[in-house]
Each structure stands twice: as C-alpha cells, then as structure tokens.
C-alpha cells in the first residue's frame, strides 16, 4: 500500500502544478503569424527582452499614423508597445493611450477579474468561459478562452465600439491562439476609421518554432516552379491624352522545362512565346518571339528578411510589405511610403504617375499589378498550369498580328453624345464591346452579333471613356471614346 500512496501523492502534486501552470500569452523566442478576418497576416516577434522583477517584452515596431499628416516608422505593434509578464501569471498589454489591459493566465474556469479600467468612464471585465482541448494548425493543446464585457461607470453593460465583442484564447504550450488588436483596444469607432481598418480578431496561422503553418513568403517560394509548369501573362498599358495616345499589349506564354537547384540559386530553362503590339499615336508595330530563355533566381534580402508589417527603411523613407494568407506578398505602392521630415513627423510622399502595388504569388511569380493615371497599366496572370492544377483561360499566340483585325472594325462617331455605330467586315465569333471609365470600372458590355451594331449611350455622363473590342482570349481594338 505504501508505494501506491507515494504514487498517488506524486500524481496529485503534478496535477496541482499543472492546474496552476502559467499559460503565457506571448513567447519571446519565436515568431507567431496571425491571420486577421480581412485575410491579412500580422506578426508577433519580440525584438528585445528586459528582465527585472518582471519580464518586459518589446515587440517589433510598425508604421503608425499619429495625426492626419503625421506618421512614424517607430510606432507600437498591434499588440502594444510592450508586454509585461509577471511571475504570478499576470500578463499586461498596453493600448494606444498606454492604458493597461490585464490578462490573468492562471485563472481557472469561471474566474472573473477587471481587465481594464478608466476612472469615471468604463470598466471591462474578463472571465475564463472555457477550458478545454483545442485542435489548431494540426496541433492539439489545452486552451483557455477569455471573454470580455464592457460596463459604464455605473456598471451597466455598454458597447464601446463595433468591435466590443473581444475574445482571447491562450494555449498552454503555444501562447495566443486567438486575440484582438491591443493597440486600438477600447478606442471609439471614429478613432478606428480615422487611422486604419482593424480586424475584429486575429487567429494563429503559423509559428516559426515549431515551424508550422504560415511562414514569411520568400523569393524562392514565389519562384518555385517544377518542370512542366506553365504561365500565361498579359501586360497592357494605355496612356491617354487629348493630344496623343499610346498603347502596348504584350502576351507571354512561359513553359518551364529544366530546373537546376543549388543552396543559393535556382536556374530554369524556359520556352517563351510572346507577341508584342504597340501603337504610338497611330504608328503601329508588332513583334513575335518564340525562343528559349534562362532565368536564375537568387535570394532577395529585403523580400525574404522583413516580416509583413515590419518597417523597411531606406535612406530617407520607410514602407512595409504585407501578406495575404501564406500565398500572396505585396510590395506596397510608393503611395504608402512615408518620408522623413525636419521634425519627428514623417509624411506621405506626393506622387504623380502610375505607381502600383506589386503582388507576388507563391509558386506563380510576379510582380502582378494594376494602376491608373491618364490611362492604366496592368500585368495580369490569366492562366497557369502547375502539376494537375489548371486555372484561367489559356492564351493563343501566333506569328500573325492579332491587331490587324483592327482594320476591319470601325466605331463612329467619336466624339459622340448619344449613340455609336460599330461596323465590322466579318463577325464570325463571339466578339464583345466593353466600355469602362478611367478608374477601370465597367460601364457597359454588349455582344456584337452582326456586322453593324448601334449602341445607345444617352445615360452616360460626359467625359472620356475606354472602349475595348475583344473575344474571350484577345483584344482586337481599344481606344478612348469621348462623350460630349
């Protein structure tokens, strides 16, 4: 009986220790990736730790808007400027106004405490509403669910903003599994909308240790192709002015047929087929290419090493990358770049021209983009084949200038005020007339079913529009249409 008693005592002590174990919310020696309900990835990475009576964790900085025209690249993280981890299991976060958010990680099921308090204003109570086993990212762990409720100074339930339904989940071994934006915690709807769009919740989507789920997308991830992979890309640019117009339409088919990998590079041999059409103020040229090219991919230090949301510093400016799930990484437009000024405020640049956001896709290359300025520029993936997966509509590229069909299509009058007539010598396939405004919004689409079609435009506002004559694969004619 004595050995059994010792074993029972030992087991009781172990269970007692486990029940009081500190479910620490933020773990300093790894990067955690969270997906917001808007699909974008936000990260927690601790850049420095200070040990005193408590541990003070300092997350990586972010670009913050401080006022209408005042920014800083040294702003607080979405989980606040610091996290204080006490030995007694209390974790302290701080919002934009440096008010304290208190999380009691050792609390048991149904325990309640004051998580946030402003004198003569609001009180926010937190409680452990669940304590069970949860499956996430292929992992299984014990998880505590914490729900929060807000009250006014008379302790009547109140809704502070549209995001008042906060919930947090903390796992025993992996920290936060679900949480909310600590930086904007308890701010009004006006403050939310003034500064930026903030997700209602963040769900753990990846960890660097153990390496699981979403990871920072790298240059090698983007250009990861296998033999037989195929990409079809269109590159279209149109510039419009009352004095002149220019247009270029490039179509490309890339088929990867050889691959050599080393520790520092990947070299591909690619079958390339391209058609290049250009019209500069009525002077038209056409080029057809069918050859083999070699492409060598090496690491991209900025792209690889900076996490989504982390400030990337240049000589006098700063910007960030962003990520959507683990498949898309975005090199943000210069419109989103901030520039150092003579005081502590950094300012948005003033740009004139077409500066797109460049999007890179895992295993599909890039950049792909769309932007508008006195016309538009677009580089678009229209079809791909990777292994057994196919997507989109494949291009058909021949040595014949497809724009020659332009000579068979006539649109008049232009300018017009109410109707146009579209004449074609030979309509033998599905051909469509599409009209868009200068912002790229589709205004009208009509199938041309005969060699002479009249299209009514009386309901349109006067201005410059873009028309396109196309079938499902090719653009036959595109130009400006002036409505008076």
Query: pLDDT tens-digit profile of 134-176?
Result: 999 999 999 999 999 999 999 999 887 766 689 999 999 999 9
Domain assignment present for residue 294? The answer is yes
Distances in Å between the Cα of 401 and the Cα atoms of 55, 247, 261 are: 69, 15, 38
Nearest-angstrom CA–CA distance, 437 and 435:
7
Asked whether the beta carbons of 122 and 151 are under 8 A apart, the reply is yes
* pTM for the model: 0.78
pLDDT in tens, 18-56: 344 568 899 999 999 999 988 999 999 999 998 877 899
Q: Which two tokens stand for residue 175?
A: 């920290």
Q: Where are the alpha helices (DSSP H) in 199-255?
A: 219-222
Percent share of the chain, pLDDT over 90? 54
Quick one: 132 and 50 in the same domain? yes
- Look at residues 189, 213, 237 and tell me which one is the last residue of a structural domain: 213
CATH number, residue 472:
2.60.40.3080
Q: Verify that 203 and 245 share a domain, yes or no.
A: no
Tell me how far CA of residue 347 lies from CA of 68, 317, 341, 344, in angstroms. 10, 9, 7, 10
Q: How many domains does the chain have?
A: 3
Which has the higher per-residue pLDDT, 324 or 470? 324
- Is residue 4 predicted with pLDDT exceeding 60? no
What pLDDT does 275 receive? Answer: 93
Give the 3-state secondary structure of residue 15: helix
- List phi, psi (to 5°) of 38: -95, 0
Q: Please return the burial class of 435, using the count of CB atoms within 10 Å of its CB with bins 0-12, 13-18 and 19+.
A: buried
**Is residue 2 in a domain?**
no
Q: Same structural domain for residues 204 and 157?
A: yes
> Helices marked H in 300-398 — which ranges?
301-305
Q: Are residues 242 and 351 in the same domain?
A: yes
Q: Which of 335, 360, 357, 361 is nearest to 348 (CA)?
A: 335
Task: Assess whether 109 and 208 both reside in one domain.
Answer: yes
Tell whether the torsion through CA atoms of 455, 409, 288 and 398 is positive or negative: positive
Least confident of 88-92, 299-303, 362-366, 402-406: 402-406
User: Does a structural domain hold residue 12?
Assistant: no
Provide the 10 A C-beta neighbour count for residue 414.
12
CB neighbours of residue 156 within 10 Å:
8
Question: Which of 368, 392, 416 is a domain's end point?
Answer: 392
pLDDT at 243: 66
Task: Please tell me the predicted confidence (pLDDT) of residue 403.
Answer: 61
Question: Strand 409-412 to strand 442-448: parallel, antiparallel, or no bridges (unpaired)?
Answer: unpaired
pLDDT value for 149: 93
Burial of 345-371, coded b for 16+ CB within 10 Å and e otherwise, reads: ebeeeeeeebbbbbbbbbbbbbebbeb
Please say if the pLDDT value at position 316 is more than 50: yes
> Are the C-beta atoms of residues 325 and 306 closer than 8 Å to each other?
no
Which residue has better confidence, 329 or 348?
329
Kindly give, in sequence order, each residue whose CB lies less than 8 Å from that of residue 180, ignoring residues fewer than 6 positions away: 163, 166, 167, 168, 200, 201, 202
Is residue 317 one of the residues assigned to a domain? Answer: yes
Task: Please give the pLDDT value at position 473.
Answer: 61
Of 169, 187, 213, the residue at which a domain comes to its end is 213
Whether the Cβ atoms of residue 214 and residue 41 lie closer than 8 Å to each other: yes
Asked whether residue 164 falls in the same domain as residue 209, the answer is yes
Task: Give the confidence band of 344 by pLDDT, cuts at 50, 70, 90.
Answer: confident
pLDDT over 70, % of the chain? 86
Specify if 3 maps to a domain. Answer: no
Question: CA 205 to CA 262: how far, in whole Å?
Answer: 30
Same domain, 237 and 359: yes
**Does 223 lie in the same domain as 188?**
no
Domain annotation covers residue 1: no
368 and 409, same domain (yes or no): no
pLDDT greater than 70 at residue 83: yes
Give the pair of three-digit tokens for residue 145: 């669910």
DSSP per residue, 437-455: -TTS-EEEEEEE-SSEEEE
Joined together, the tokens standing for residue 272 give 């390339």
Q: Which domain holds residue 100?
A: 21-213
Same-domain pairing of 180 and 303: no
How many whole angstroms separate alpha carbon 32 and alpha carbon 136?
13
Task: With respect to residue 276, please indicate whether it lies within any of the assigned structural domains.
Answer: yes
Please tell me whether residues 37 and 180 are part of one structural domain: yes
**Residue 447 pLDDT level (bands cut at 50, 70, 90):** confident
Same-domain check for residues 190 and 337: no
Q: Is residue 13 in a domain?
A: no
CA nearest to 346, candidates 314, 324, 369:
314
Yes or no: say if 468 and 437 are a contact pair by the CB < 8 Å rule: no
Q: Using CA atoms, how far apart are residues 300 and 218, in angstroms rounded to an integer?
A: 8
């Amino acid at each position: 009986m004595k050995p059994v008693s010792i074993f029972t005592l030992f087991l009781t002590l172990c269970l007692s220790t486990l029940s009081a174990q500190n479910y620490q919310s933020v773990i300093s020696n790894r990067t955690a990736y969270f997906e917001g309900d808007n699909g974008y990835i936000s990260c927690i990475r601790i850049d420095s730790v200070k040990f005193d009576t408590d541990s003070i964790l300092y997350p990586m900085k972010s670009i913050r808007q401080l006022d209408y025209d005042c920014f800083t690249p040294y702003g607080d993280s979405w989980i606040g400027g610091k996290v204080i981890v006490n030995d007694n299991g209390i974790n302290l976060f701080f919002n934009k106004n440096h008010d304290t958010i208190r999380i009691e990680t050792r609390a048991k099921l149904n325990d309640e405490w004051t998580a946030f308090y402003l004198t003569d204003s609001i009180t926010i109570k937190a409680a452990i509403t669940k304590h069970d086993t949860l499956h996430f990212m292929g992992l299984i762990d014990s998880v505590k669910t914490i729900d929060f409720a807000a009250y006014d100074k008379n302790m009547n339930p109140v809704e502070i903003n549209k995001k008042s339904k906060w919930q947090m989940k903390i796992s025993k071994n992996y920290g936060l599994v679900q949480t909310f934006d600590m930086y904007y915690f308890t701010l009004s709807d006006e403050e939310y909308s003034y500064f930026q769009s903030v997700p209602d919740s963040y769900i753990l989507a990846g960890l660097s240790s153990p390496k699981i789920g979403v990871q920072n997308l790298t240059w090698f991830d983007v250009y990861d192709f296998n033999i037989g992979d195929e990409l079809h890309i269109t590159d279209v640019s149109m510039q419009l002015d009352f004095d002149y117009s220019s247009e270029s339409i490039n179509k490309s088919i890339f088929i990867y047929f050889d691959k050599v990998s080393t520790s520092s590079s990947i070299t591909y041999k690619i079958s390339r087929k391209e058609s290049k059409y250009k019209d500069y103020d009525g002077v038209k040229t056409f080029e057809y290419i069918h050859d083999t090219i070699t492409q060598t991919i090496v690491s991209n230090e900025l792209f690889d090493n900076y996490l989504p949301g982390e400030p990337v510093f240049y000589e006098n400016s700063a910007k960030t990358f962003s990520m959507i799930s683990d498949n898309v990484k975005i090199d943000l437009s210069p419109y989103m770049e901030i520039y150092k000024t003579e005081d502590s405020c950094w300012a948005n640049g003033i740009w004139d021209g077409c500066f797109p956001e460049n999007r890179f896709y895992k295993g599909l290359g890039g950049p792909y983009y769309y932007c508008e300025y006195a016309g538009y520029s677009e580089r678009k993936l229209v079809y791909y084949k990777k292994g057994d997966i196919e997507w989109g509509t494949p291009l058909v590229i021949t040595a014949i200038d497809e724009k020659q069909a332009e000579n068979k299509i006539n649109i008049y009058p232009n300018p017009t005020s109410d109707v146009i007539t579209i004449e074609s010598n030979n309509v033998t396939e599905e051909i469509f007339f599409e009209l868009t405004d200068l912002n790229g919004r589709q205004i009208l689409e009509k199938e041309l079913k005969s060699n002479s079609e009249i299209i009514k435009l009386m309901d349109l506002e006067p201005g410059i529009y873009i028309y396109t004559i196309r079938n499902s694969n090719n653009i036959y004619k595109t130009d400006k249409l002036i409505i008076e």
